[in-house]
Amino acid sequence: MTNVNLRAITETDIRVSQLGFGAAPLGGFRGVISEHEVQTTLQMASDGGVNYFDTSPYYGYGRSELRLGQFLRDRPRDQFVLSTKVGRWLEPLNAASPPPDLRPGGLPFQPQFDYSAAGTIRSLEQSMMRLGICEIDILYIHDVDVFTHGTPAAADQRYREVLEGCYPELERLRSAGTIKAIGIGINETERALRFARDTDIDCILLAGRYTLLEQEPLDALLPKCLEKQISIVLGGPYNSGVLATGLGDGAKYDYGNVPDHIGKRVVRLQAVCETHGVSLIAAALQFPLAHPAIVSVIPGAMNSDEQRANMAAIHEPITVEFWQDLKAQGLLRQDAPVPEPEPMTAP
């Protein structure tokens, strides 16, 4: 069983709960959420031992930061860890000519990519004002990847902009104590590895790349993170849904439809879960935490039911035999660390 206890972001004084809260759904892109439900969900997380909350200007075009700030800003600052992101700042929506890729459900603002030093400060200052909080623990450089920018060439150009402008500015802010840690929030293993090699970041928010369905980071990224003492926060532990819901109508994999080869793997995972009496969501949430580089998993929750499910999953007992069976059937790599049951303590 995995407890929601604290782990250190290496070489900082930041300690995050193993189960964090990813506030992307609070932005409203997945659907409408009432303000009451937002505050109820966040309170449930806090009451359950969650101390780490992650957001971004991009989530709901400011709505996620506003909502999270409303919940956190009057609490003692040493009782929570807060991260947000830079790489986009917001401007009022041009309703007469909206951007073609504008997502529904957000506030009436539109994001502008900007990885310059000045853009980094502009983004951070906007975030602080929306949150109503001026002490940001971790500041992530957001979405410097092909998934976001469309082509390797475009992503490479953004990477150069980061190294010339955004990253040196974040180093200055970290040295001044304005932020405690520098991270990157990214969807791709290869580009995460590039940052790990080229910079002195403290942590990586890796979305969906080290899960029950894929373990490629074991080859190079995770060893490099251990070598350089870079901590990993794992976002998207359910690969954007399918590992929480299983197959069925509306199941998603990496924000799209579930490919056939992934669907077949999920069916096999579910069969092993059924044999051992383990829920798929619990296995998905607990597996990444066995690797020593990973300090927290931060699934999102749209409502208190989803948050309750996440909290139950992190505490669900899972036997060693379950993980051994997954490896025996080729569903986990042999070199993947797996959780060990906690020893029973005397009453």
Q: Does residue 138 lie in a domain region?
A: yes
pTM, two decimal places: 0.95
Q: Does residue 186 lie in a domain region?
A: yes
pLDDT digit string, tens, across residues 28-74: 998 999 999 999 999 999 999 999 999 999 999 999 999 999 999 99
Q: Does residue 347 lie in a domain region?
A: no
Does the active-site annotation cover 252?
Answer: no
* pLDDT, position 269: 96
Number of alpha carbons in the 13 Å side-chain half-sphere of residue 278: 29
Does the active-site annotation cover 59?
Answer: yes
HEC readout, the chain = CCCCCEEECCCCCCEEECECEECHHHHCCCCCCCHHHHHHHHHHHHHCCCCEEECCCCCCCCHHHHHHHHHHCCCCHHHCEEEEEECEEEEECCCCCCCCCCCCCCCCEEEEECCCHHHHHHHHHHHHHHHCCCCEEEEEEECCCHHHHCCHHHHHHHHHHHHHHHHHHHHHHHHHCCEEEEEEEECCHHHHHHHHHHCCCCEEEEECCCECCECHHHCCHHHHHHHHCCEEEEECCCHHHHHHHCCCCCCCECCECCCHHHHHHHHHHHHHHHHHCCCHHHHHHHCHHHCCCEEEEECECCCHHHHHHHHHHHHCCCCHHHHHHHHHCCCCCCCCCCCCCCCCCCC
How many domains is the chain built from? 1
* pLDDT, position 342: 66
Q: Does residue 220 lie in a domain region?
A: yes
Q: Does residue 80 lie in a domain region?
A: yes
Name the nearest CA neighbour of 88 among 133, 128, 54, 119. 119
Phi, psi of 255 (to 5 degrees): 70, 10
* pLDDT, position 182: 98
Q: Which is catalytic among the residues 59, 140, 167, 210?
A: 59
Q: Does residue 334 lie in a domain region?
A: no
* CATH number, domain with residue 179: 3.20.20.100
pLDDT digit string, tens, across residues 97-134: 999 999 999 999 999 999 999 999 999 999 999 999 99
Q: Which is catalytic among the residues 52, 54, 137, 180?
A: 54
Does the active-site annotation cover 54?
Answer: yes
Is-contact 27 63, C-beta < 8 A?
yes
143 vs 237: CA distance, rounded Å:
17
Q: Which residue stretches of the chain have pLDDT < 70?
A: 1-4, 342-347
Q: Does residue 267 lie in a domain region?
A: no
* pLDDT, position 344: 45
Q: Does residue 276 lie in a domain region?
A: no
CA 103 to chain CA centroid, Å, is 20
Q: Which is catalytic among the residues 61, 85, 180, 238?
A: 85
Which residue range forms the structural domain that includes residue 86?
A: 6-259+281-319
